[in-house]
């Protein structure tokens, strides 16, 4: 009897102890950070300059790093990256095939988030706010969180670029905000709201961009210590601010709200707005999980203008590291240590500037895509007697004017074959293939799969162009770009941190489309509706 009483007592005490332990099904807040145009190697290239209190060393040491995270489709650009990260699938399924594309259903260009049914909120710049996620054909992880909590979760997306804030937040977001370069305001659209909240109006009224301009841009550390970069003011760089550091920006105050996006102050503006969102929208304030999707657009603007090997790029990431470290401190204080789940990744990388590579005898160059289209149409007219048989050359593809081809009863295969033959004769183009017969093309299987993963009928071209490694589209003002299958564009960082994340590192290859299903497993919610990625077992174990 005594044994039985002791057993009952112990059982009661154990149950009481369990009842007192906090059982958290989900974190208070999920923070997704996408750094636009962050190559994976930046984590280690500038490692010695990253601050001990910064973000990157903290995430690498205390979080979980997936060192071989790849993009599994051919067109590695901003819109595709953000959509794929948050939907867990590829453009062939979510429908975002580029930042814009030639849409055969309307016979015109379509911007990825363009929506003529909505209007700008927060500015008189009409075009800047005519945006929504309607072109995205599936749900995002943010949508699934809203559904799982019966729409009690709060979801907000922010970025300087509209597509960086809109596509991650999904169809059911409470808000998405982006930066209007004409007015210097954070804005939204009538898809989300009729008017900006009072706190956003107050934030905009401060005109912090003007105060940023007064600071100019000089390197954070003495410029001679930037040994991971080539010299300042290289011939292949954009001279948008002048001939090298330090840059004066005061002349733009009150006049030009655009150039701030290509300076470190663009990142600071984004971080300040992110903090304001959390504070004023009470995100993570209760036990119902909220989701803040942040995209840092500035590194992309800087990379395009100056290239990955520039002092400007190095300075941007050294500063971003410190700034994100302060943001982590803010989250610890505001939400609570281990009460939030954070991941950091990128939408794509970038090629080194061809001018830089050439100076070290690495073959590289620029493809004159518009010139290719123009001269190809002349060749096609000589053969078939019709002008403009190629509607557009964009997104590393040629789009056939199928309406004209059909109306003239031309042989589509013959038109394609001549176009392919001519394209293959152009500098920088390694392969040109008919997407309709891609599986029969003599290409590496991985590349064929990436082309298929990017193809969405009506939003994709007819002939896929594959450049030689290190060759990029022509840039009028120097710098570089991205968008191809090669590792310099397709290899991105992926770091996990915070709630239920044990420190570790994974070397095996995974894809960015694995992020959303991993979040689904961690949050115990359904995967997005088009998800084809797989949960990363090492994260959720």
Residues with a known catalytic role: 78
Read off the DSSP letter of residue 242.
-
Distances (CA, A) of 520 to 81, 86, 245, 348, 525: 19, 11, 45, 23, 5
Q: Residue 516, exposed/middle/buried by CB under 10 A (0-12, 13-18, 19+)?
A: buried
The phi-psi region of residue 64 (left if phi > 0; otherwise alpha if psi is between -120 and 50; otherwise beta) is beta
User: In whole angstroms, what is the distance from residue 76 CA to residue 37 CA?
Assistant: 10
Q: Residue 280, exposed/middle/buried by CB under 10 A (0-12, 13-18, 19+)?
A: middle
Can you say how many angstroms the Cα of residue 412 is from the centroid of all Cα atoms in its chain?
36
Calculated CA dihedral for residues 174, 178, 182, 185, nearest 10 degrees: 60
Of residues 145, 178, 185, the one with CA closest to residue 163: 178
Read off the DSSP letter of residue 425.
T
Across-strand partners of 103?
Answer: 108
Compute the C-alpha angle 84/88/90, nearest 5°.
Answer: 50
Q: Which residues, at least 6 apart from 509, have a Cβ–Cβ distance to it below 8 Å?
A: 68, 69, 70
Cis peptide before 82 (omega within 30 of 0): no
Which helix (H) or strand (E) element contains residue 276? helix 264-280
Helix (H, G, I), strand (E, B) or coil at 365: strand
**Which residue carries 């991993």 as its tokens?**
518
Q: Is-contact 292 464, C-beta < 8 A?
A: no
């Amino acid at each position: 009897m005594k044994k039985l009483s002791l057993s009952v007592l112990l059982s009661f005490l154990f149950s009481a102890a369990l009842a007192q332990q906090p059982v958290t099904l989900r974190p208070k807040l999920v923070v997704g950070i996408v750094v636009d145009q962050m190559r994976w190697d930046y984590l280690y290239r500038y490692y010695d300059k990253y601050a001990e209190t910064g973000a990157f060393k903290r995430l690498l040491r205390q979080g979980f790093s997936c060192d071989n995270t790849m993009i599994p489709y051919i067109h590695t650009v901003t819109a595709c990256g953000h959509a794929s990260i948050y939907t867990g699938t590829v453009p062939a399924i979510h429908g975002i095939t580029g930042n814009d594309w030639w849409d055969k259903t309307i016979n015109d260009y379509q911007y990825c988030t363009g929506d003529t049914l909505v209007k700008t909120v927060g500015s008189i710049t009409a075009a800047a706010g005519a945006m929504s996620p309607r072109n995205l054909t599936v749900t995002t992880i943010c949508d699934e969180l809203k559904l799982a909590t019966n729409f009690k979760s709060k979801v907000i997306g922010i970025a300087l670029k509209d597509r960086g804030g809109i596509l991650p937040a999904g169809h059911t977001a409470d808000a998405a905000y982006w930066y209007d370069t004409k007015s210097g305001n954070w804005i939204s659209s009538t898809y989300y709201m009729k008017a900006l909240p009072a706190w956003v109006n107050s934030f905009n009224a401060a005109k912090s961009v003007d105060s940023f301009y007064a600071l100019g841009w000089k390197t954070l550390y003495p410029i001679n210590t930037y040994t991971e970069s080539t010299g300042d003011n290289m011939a292949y760089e954009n001279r948008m601010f002048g001939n090298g550091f330090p840059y004066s920006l005061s002349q733009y105050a009150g006049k030009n709200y655009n150039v701030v996006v290509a300076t470190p102050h663009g990142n600071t503006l984004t971080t300040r707005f992110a903090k304001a969102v959390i504070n004023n929208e009470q995100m993570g304030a209760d036990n119902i999980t909220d989701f803040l999707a942040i995209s840092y657009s500035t590194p992309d603007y800087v990379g395009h203008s100056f290239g990955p090997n520039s002092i400007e790029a190095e300075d941007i990431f050294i500063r971003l590291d410190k700034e994100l470290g302060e943001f982590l401190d803010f989250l610890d204080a505001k939400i609570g240590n281990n009460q939030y789940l954070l991941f950091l990744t990128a939408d794509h990388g970038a090629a080194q500037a061809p001018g830089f590579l050439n100076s070290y005898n690495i073959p590289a160059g620029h493809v004159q895509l518009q010139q290719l289209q123009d001269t190809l149409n002349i060749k096609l007219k000589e053969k078939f007697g019709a002008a403009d048989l190629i509607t557009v050359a964009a997104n590393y593809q040629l789009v056939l004017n199928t309406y004209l081809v059909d109306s003239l009863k031309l042989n589509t295969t013959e038109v394609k074959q001549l176009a392919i033959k001519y394209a293959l004769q152009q500098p920088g183009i390694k392969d040109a293939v008919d997407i309709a017969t891609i599986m029969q093309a003599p290409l590496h299987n991985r590349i064929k799969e990436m082309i298929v993963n990017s193809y969405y009928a009506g939003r994709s071209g007819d002939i896929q162009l594959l450049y030689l490694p290190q060759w990029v589209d022509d840039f009028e003002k120097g710098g570089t770009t991205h968008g191809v299958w090669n590792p310099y564009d397709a290899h991105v960082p992926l770091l996990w941190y915070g709630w239920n994340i044990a420190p570790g590192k994974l070397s095996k290859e995974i894809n960015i489309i694995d992020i959303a299903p991993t979040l689904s497993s961690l949050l115990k919610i359904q995967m997005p509706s088009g998800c084809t990625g797989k949960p990363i077992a090492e994260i959720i174990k």
